[in-house]
A and B are shown apart, each in its own frame.
Chain A
Amino acid sequence: MTLPLLLLGISIISFMLLNFAPGDAAEITLMRQNGGVAPSPQEVVELRQELGLNDPLPIRYGRWVSNAVRGDLGESYRSGDSIANELLRRLPATLLLAATALALAVAAGIPLGVLAAVNRGTWLDTSCRLLALVGAAVPSYVMAPVLMLFFAVKLGWLPAVGYGSPKNLLLPALALSFGTMAQLMRLTRASVLDVLGQDYIRTARAKGLSERSVVWGHGLKSALLPVVTVLGTSTGFLLGGAVIIESIFGWPGVGQFVIQGISQRDYPVVQGFVLYMAVAFLLINLAVDVSYRWLDPRLHFGGKFN
């Protein structure tokens, strides 16, 4: 798995998305300029020629890639504005939301998972597992309005909507984090249980180390390995889930942008979004791979551990 090949593949798929999209790019652009009135066939033919839409596929692809590499993802059908600019402008909001949701999920999920594993079989364990199941099975778009109604309207503790202060971040991040929190909790619990039964743990116990040192010192580090892998894929889910949450909370991120793009048949936006997100996701997975090495120096081979 080499990076350049992967990026090539991503770009091809993103490009093909627009090609399979219905509607004629020239016609839609003209209609926007005319304020919604259908253009004449002649105008469409002329614009197609001008935009180079009649060129063969590989040439169009090449043109698109060379533009994309220079940071030009084309213009939105709807507004005519640069898509790359808009994505860049909105990306911080989405990343902030996803990062906070991830932080919440980790802060709650991992400790709870350890707690459940260490207290296996008790009511604490059962209730944690139940909480995890609930978190995994309730969709975020059901959770979100419930949270809004409860915390913002009934209790008035947090603002329901808005953007700019940490208080605005809390509700959307919370709604987004539940699924991942649940997953992390279950995984951590299973992983810790696995590790706790291993030989070197028994050795540590036999050596007379305290229970605390055994669990937190030796056990945790190895247990976190599969958790870290999941963090990588969780980020994908969070970025995707953010699309729905942003739409509900009016959070000004790329998710809201792409949803508007979809409902307005603004396909260049969708295409640009997919490319952007895939690249971001790829980089994050890279980061996961690297941190993997640091956590367990026993692994010295190349390629993904799967």
Chain B
Amino acid sequence: MTWRTRFLGLAFAILLLAAAACGGSATATPSGSSSSDASSDPTTAPPAEERVLKVAMTFLDEPPDPYRAGWLAVPTGLAETLFKQDESLNTVPWLASGAVQVEPTVWEIFLRQGVKFHNGALMDAAKVKGSLDLALLRRPGTRLLLDVDRVEVKDPLTVVIYTNSPNPILPGLLTNQNTSIADPDTVPASVDDSAEFAAMTGPYKLVSFTADQKMSVVAHTDYWQGTPALDRVEYVAFSQSDTRLIALQSGDVDISINLSPQGAVVVGNDSSLEVRVAAPAGMLFMFVNHESPAMQDSLVRRALAIAVDRDAMAAGVADGNAIPAEGMFPPGFISCQNAGSYAFDPEAARELLAEAGYKDEDGDGIVEKDGKKLELVLQTYPEQPLLPPMLEAFQSMLKDIGVAAKVQIVEWTLASQGGYDLFGYSNDTTTTGDPGWALNRQYLTGGDENRGNFSNSRVDDLIGQLSSASDPAQRQQIACDALRAGQDEVALIPVMFPTRLFGISDAVDWTSGPQAARLYFIDHLIGLK
């Protein structure tokens, strides 16, 4: 190699380092699909006494597109839906003022007056129709969810939705954040372009978004419920929960979400910080892989379900920040919430295994049948910090009843690909405020979240009956029957309902506190003292 080549190499390396030094000190926002900036100069000095809240999130992976919202547009107060869930998880009007099911497949939705989008335009039926049409177009899953045929305008404040089959819970489905309302004229023409800068209706509007890093929003002064209590909110993302904790302690952020139970203890011990707790919105459970050979016998499945010491899990693994779960729904959500009780009983579990033909012949503590040991594969993913220790604890509980198990930490999408016996998972079950939603997703053959391929005709029948029942009492009854039927077959194994932990500094004025439904976080009321 010649001198010249080496010299060029050195010059290049120096240039690279120089670019790094210069590029690193400014906030890097080159054009690209994952980073965007609406204002021309994001680094203008803030006016004096600006009220800025800093929040630490777990993820900021996808931009807050109102139609492909991931987990961002509604919780951060950017977008709103026609209906929302209240503290008791019932569906109540939000951007809509009410709704009437005029026929089994026809709903009339009445809109609120005087709601202004971020660009100042007024919300009316035409814009709502346009927005819903775009929602159905841009994300096929929304079409499936709502089962909508078409949307029409009746008058400037009334929209009519025609569904394909009778749908008694449409308003509940309209709490789904992929049905957020945005000004259709501000949505990009191409379906592949993100709509995060579309004009939405929430108390805050997007200024800039840098994936996996930070997001900046400013107050929407014309917000329909009044001027927001803050001028700006800055979000940062740290996937590690202890980084979120330390950021709160050092004052780099004012609020940290998703604290670990130990994090809550540390925050509790700090006099300048406070812990806020929100009721559980879903469950930590294990998918049963109904195609795995070991799981074919219902006696074995039942033995596993009653081998879980749920009290120890809630008190131990979750440090008391969880409620034991024998059914899919948290307390108060449904009258029969712990139907099909899986009371902890290792003795009975051992008997069930014996009944299924499993005995410990060679005295090594593990049972066998036809010479083959009962060894299970347990998988889970690390992003929900309670799941790996939950599975480790279960591994030990299984050993007590004579079952060997291997724990593997893998990626969450592997839950749909078999190759395991049990898969630790976390899912919300209270979205839309109606049990039918979760039953459809988890129990129905081919359901979205039925990753273990559970299939039972009786359960399918019962869930089918739900779609035509509109009387709430009747819906509860059918839902309970379906739940019990699924539990008898051990469709999946619920373990606990985790509460959600927030750490806030004492500078934060959050009288409303975290809301029951996980979807709502920042509103126009949260502010600084």
Do A and B contact each other directly (Cβ–Cβ < 8 Å)? yes
Residues of chain B within 8 A (CB-CB) of A3 are: 1, 5
Alpha-carbon gap, A284 to B17, bound state (A): 10
Q: Does B122 contact A (CB under 8 A)?
A: no
B246 near A89 with CB under 8 A, answer no
9-residue interface stretch from A124-132, A157-165, A178-186, A195-203: A157-165
9-residue interface stretch from A47-55, A65-73, A93-101: A93-101
Asked if A37 meets B416 with Cβ closer than 8 Å, knowing A2-B1, A160-B250, A248-B243, the reply is yes
9-residue interface stretch from B6-14, B127-135, B346-354, B391-399: B6-14
Q: Does B156 contact A (CB under 8 A)?
A: no
Residues of chain A within 8 A (CB-CB) of B250 are: 148, 152-153, 156, 159-161
A249 near B243 with CB under 8 A, answer yes
Q: Does B212 contact A (CB under 8 A)?
A: yes
Q: Does B46 contact A (CB under 8 A)?
A: no
Per-position binary interface string of chain B over residues 1-34, scored 1 when its CB falls under 8 Å from any chain A CB and 0 otherwise: 1010111011011101101110111011010111
Q: Does B321 contact A (CB under 8 A)?
A: no
Cβ-neighbour of A287 out of B13, B28, B382, B411 (below 8 A): B13
Alpha-carbon gap, A257 to B213, bound state (A): 11
Residues of chain B within 8 A (CB-CB) of A165 are: 25
A284, closest chain B residue (CB): B13
Alpha-carbon gap, A293 to B16, bound state (A): 21
Task: List which A236-278 residues lie within 8 A (CB) of chain B.
Answer: 247-250, 252, 256-257, 260, 263-265
Q: Does B242 contact A (CB under 8 A)?
A: yes
Closest-CB distance, B527 to chain A (whole angstroms):
23
B236 near A86 with CB under 8 A, answer no
Residues of chain A within 8 A (CB-CB) of B114 are: none
Chain A interface SS verdict (over half): helix
B12 near A161 with CB under 8 A, answer no
Per-position binary interface string of chain A over residues 54-96, scored 1 when its CB falls under 8 Å from any chain B CB and 0 otherwise: 0000000000000000000000001101100110110111111
A89 near B30 with CB under 8 A, answer yes
Cβ-neighbour of B9 out of A2, A162, A290 (below 8 A): A290
B141 near A160 with CB under 8 A, answer no
B34 near A286 with CB under 8 A, answer no
Cβ-neighbour of A162 out of B7, B32, B252 (below 8 A): B252
Instruction: Give the most central of A28, A248, A286, A289: most B CB within 10 Å.
Output: A286
Residues of chain A within 8 A (CB-CB) of B212 are: 252, 256-257, 260
Alpha-carbon gap, A38 to B3, bound state (A): 56
Q: Does B40 contact A (CB under 8 A)?
A: no
B236 near A162 with CB under 8 A, answer yes
Residues of chain A within 8 A (CB-CB) of B455 are: none
Q: Does A208 contact B (CB under 8 A)?
A: no
Asked if A79 meets B62 with Cβ closer than 8 Å, knowing A95-B24, A287-B14, the reply is yes
Alpha-carbon gap, A91 to B18, bound state (A): 12
Closest-CB distance, B408 to chain A (whole angstroms):
13
A38, closest chain B residue (CB): B416
Q: Does B44 contact A (CB under 8 A)?
A: no
Alpha-carbon gap, A110 to B144, bound state (A): 65
Residues of chain B within 8 A (CB-CB) of A248 are: 240, 243
B17, closest chain A residue (CB): A99
B56, closest chain A residue (CB): A161
Q: Does A121 contact B (CB under 8 A)?
A: no
Asked if A153 meets B27 with Cβ closer than 8 Å, knowing A31-B416, A283-B16, A284-B13, the reply is no
Per-position binary interface string of chain B over residues 250-284, scored 1 when its CB falls under 8 Å from any chain A CB and 0 otherwise: 11100000000000000000000000000000000
Q: Does B61 contact A (CB under 8 A)?
A: yes
Q: Does B247 contact A (CB under 8 A)?
A: yes
Q: Does A302 contact B (CB under 8 A)?
A: yes
Closest-CB distance, A79 to chain B (whole angstroms):
7
Residues of chain A within 8 A (CB-CB) of B28 are: 89, 92-93
A283, closest chain B residue (CB): B13
A156 near B251 with CB under 8 A, answer yes
Alpha-carbon gap, A291 to B10, bound state (A): 8
Residues of chain A within 8 A (CB-CB) of B34 are: 79, 81, 85-86, 89
Q: Does B470 contact A (CB under 8 A)?
A: no
Residues of chain A within 8 A (CB-CB) of B23 are: 92, 96
Nearest first, the 5 A-B pairs at minimum CB distance are: A95-B20, A96-B24, A286-B9, A92-B23, A287-B13
User: 30 A-B Cβ contacts within 8 A?
Assistant: A3-B1, A3-B5, A35-B141, A36-B416, A38-B417, A85-B32, A89-B34, A93-B24, A96-B20, A96-B21, A96-B25, A149-B246, A152-B246, A152-B249, A153-B249, A156-B251, A160-B247, A160-B252, A161-B247, A162-B252, A164-B25, A252-B213, A263-B383, A263-B411, A280-B16, A283-B16, A286-B13, A289-B9, A290-B7, A291-B10
List chain A positions with a Cβ less than 8 A from chain B. Answer: 2-3, 28, 31, 34-38, 78-79, 81-82, 85-86, 88-89, 91-96, 99, 145, 148-149, 152-153, 156, 159-166, 247-250, 252, 256-257, 260, 263-265, 280, 283-284, 286-287, 289-291, 293, 302
